Chain A
Amino acid sequence: MDLIWEGLRKALELLLTLDPEVLRITLLSLKVSGLATLISLAIGLGVAVPVALNEFPGKRLVIALLNTGMGLPPVVVGLFVTVLLWRNGPLGFLEILYTPTAMILAQAVIASPIIAGISLAALQHLPPGLQLQILALGASRPQMVWLLLKEARLPLLAAVMAGFGGVISEVGASIMVGGNIKGHTRVLTTATVMETGKGNFDVAFALSLILLVMAFSVNALLTNLQQRSRRR
């Protein structure tokens, strides 16, 4: 029990004194996962909108693939992205392995199917006649897509939350393509794994606490947005 209490006390100290290393790790986590979520939102909607609005052969297969993609294990993504970015790999010339860019890329691969899958379900749950109604009100096609997304804004926010939650907490891909390099690619999850391995439970506790608080605040913010638009 002492171990836990001592760890928590030390963790609070690190947090309250705004330890520069902890701060840097936290900000990088936010930056990497935030950017990865934004990219995934663009990709996710780019896939979900045409799939939802059009009928084409193989549509069911695409949806099944997307739903499978929602459960992609981060280590598998890490492995593939590493191989792609490896010096002799097909994308080796980019020379971005072991950089935050590689981590953003890997996290975007993880979050895109999550956001695409939930967005697709959200769009498919809109009333079936809504598209025709919007067109009958004189909307152009881009206007129609915008209005449909606006109607589905609540579940779309849920998609963003799920995407961000998935990448901020993953460790496998980040450690493989980022390398957990101090001051360069070290993020909250990779640092926690390392500190725990070294027996530095106090630091690990501090980092985990930040991770929890961060995940909680981002979701609280989005939930607040969601509930506010519900009440209106």
Chain B
Amino acid sequence: MSRETLLQARNLQVHRGGAQVLDVPALDLRAGEVLALMGPNGAGKSTLMLALAGLLPPSKGELRFRDAELRTRGDREAFRRRMTMVFQDPLLFDATVAQNIASGLKLRGVPAAERNAQVEDWARRLGLGDLLDRSARHLSGGEAQRTALARAFVLRPEILFLDEPFSALDAQAREGLIDDLGHILAGTGTTAVISTHDQAEAARLSHRLAVMQEGRIVQMGGLREVMNHPEDPFVAAFVGMETLLKGQVVACQEGLLSLRLRKDSGGREVVAMGEAQPGQTVLVGVRPEHVALSLQTDKTSSARNAFPGAVTKVIPRGPFFKVELDCGFFLAAYVTAQSLAELGLQPGRPVIASFKATAVHLIRREGLDSEV
């Protein structure tokens, strides 16, 4: 994979009605990578994306595409012919599927014969082969978004911007489309920026992750890096690190830490990897994927942390279930439908929850002692 920087933003700021809604000091998009922008509604994901796409002139800052600065309206217009964007709303034209897919090519003056071959190719790749003559008015939500994606990919964009492309779809249409999009992105090596508030979606499609809050990027890095090592509680909660407990380091020995959870978190002791000063207050984070459940203590297990507790809630989460536990403190675990049935997991069921010392992520930050 090439590592050339395609798009570079510096000191990008957008003001709206006197208020600053975007402030991104630096962002580089490398060729072939998929960058996911995550954050709650209003965090500035769409604003950042529109600014990066040259569709929203920033109030301040610099945008460079392949080392040429996009300064004038003409520069941005030329850039718009080399990228494209798919929005949450498919925004199809009142025309047939084929005409919709062809629309960007037509704007570029591509001759009809050439256009048709490409349209058919991309319609087929997105499973729209039989719908070419159908009016866009009579498509399901999933088919409409597939048409919008075909309309984008047929342009062979150097950068593809995807603004919450699956948010409006039902779970079934969404699953199939995420798979197909993942294959196409990987197969074509398309550089893309995708915004989402769903961590599973980001995990399946992206290489890098930027978590946004109030118009700023609070953490940006490799997907696993951000998912497993969030730098602050907001990012931790947002990337799905559901268990986040306050504790105090009681001992540190050769990279192995003993932590005591606070009294209101049950006062239990947790073993983790890392370096910290005894007495230091930290946040203890555990991803639900890393928590295993069993009916009795497994003496042969290498997991250093094992806590007896009881199931309080079982919540379906697409392909798996989230099980919430009370172990004297809150703990969340993901299990498959099979495990759910085999262990008979339901509210009230006593279980042993275990996780390895390496699965524990510590957030050390100034001022934690004074916070709640």
Contact = CB atoms under 8 A, between A and B. Distances in A.
Interface stretch (A39-47, A98-106, A139-147): A139-147
A232 interface: yes
Contacts of A139: 107
A132 B55 contact: yes
A57 interface: no
A136 interface: yes
A65 B93 CA distance: 31
B108 interface: yes
Contact of B94 (A129, A136, A143, A151): A151
B107 A143 contact: yes
B192 interface: no
B155 to A, nearest CB: 7
Contacts of B135: 232
Interface string A196-232: 0000000000000000000000000000000000001
A136 B108 contact: no
A138 interface: yes
A181 interface: no
B55 A137 contact: no
B107 A129 contact: no
Interface in B76-105: 77, 80-81, 83-85, 87, 89, 91, 93-94, 96, 103-104
A138 B91 CA distance: 15
Contacts, number: 46
A138 B84 contact: yes
B89 A137 contact: no
Contacts of B94: 151
Contacts of B151: 137
A129 B89 contact: yes
Residues of A in contact with B, size category: 10 to 19
Interface SS of chain A: helix
A226 to B, nearest CB: 12
B325 to A, nearest CB: 43
Interface string B42-60: 0000000010010100000
B77 A137 contact: no
B122 interface: no
B161 interface: yes
Contact of B77 (A133, A140, A150): A140
Contact of B50 (A132, A137, A138, A140): A132
Interface string A144-157: 00010011000000
A140 B80 CA distance: 9
B331 to A, nearest CB: 42
Contact of B155 (A133, A137, A147): A137
A136 B80 contact: yes
Contact of B55 (A135, A147, A151, A232): A135
A178 B286 CA distance: 86
Contact of A136 (B53, B89, B96): B53
B103 A137 contact: yes
A136 B161 contact: yes
B326 to A, nearest CB: 45
Given A132-B55, A151-B94, A232-B135, A138 B89 contact: no
A143 B135 CA distance: 22
A130 B91 contact: yes
Contacts of B155: 137-138
A230 to B, nearest CB: 9
14 contacts: A127-B89, A129-B89, A129-B91, A135-B80, A136-B85, A136-B161, A137-B103, A138-B80, A138-B108, A139-B107, A140-B107, A143-B107, A150-B93, A232-B96
Given A137-B103, A137-B107, A151-B94, 13 more contacts: A132-B50, A132-B55, A133-B87, A133-B91, A135-B80, A136-B80, A136-B84, A137-B151, A138-B80, A138-B108, A139-B107, A143-B107, A150-B93
CB-CB nearest 6 A-B residue pairs = A136-B85, A137-B104, A133-B91, A138-B81, A139-B107, A138-B107
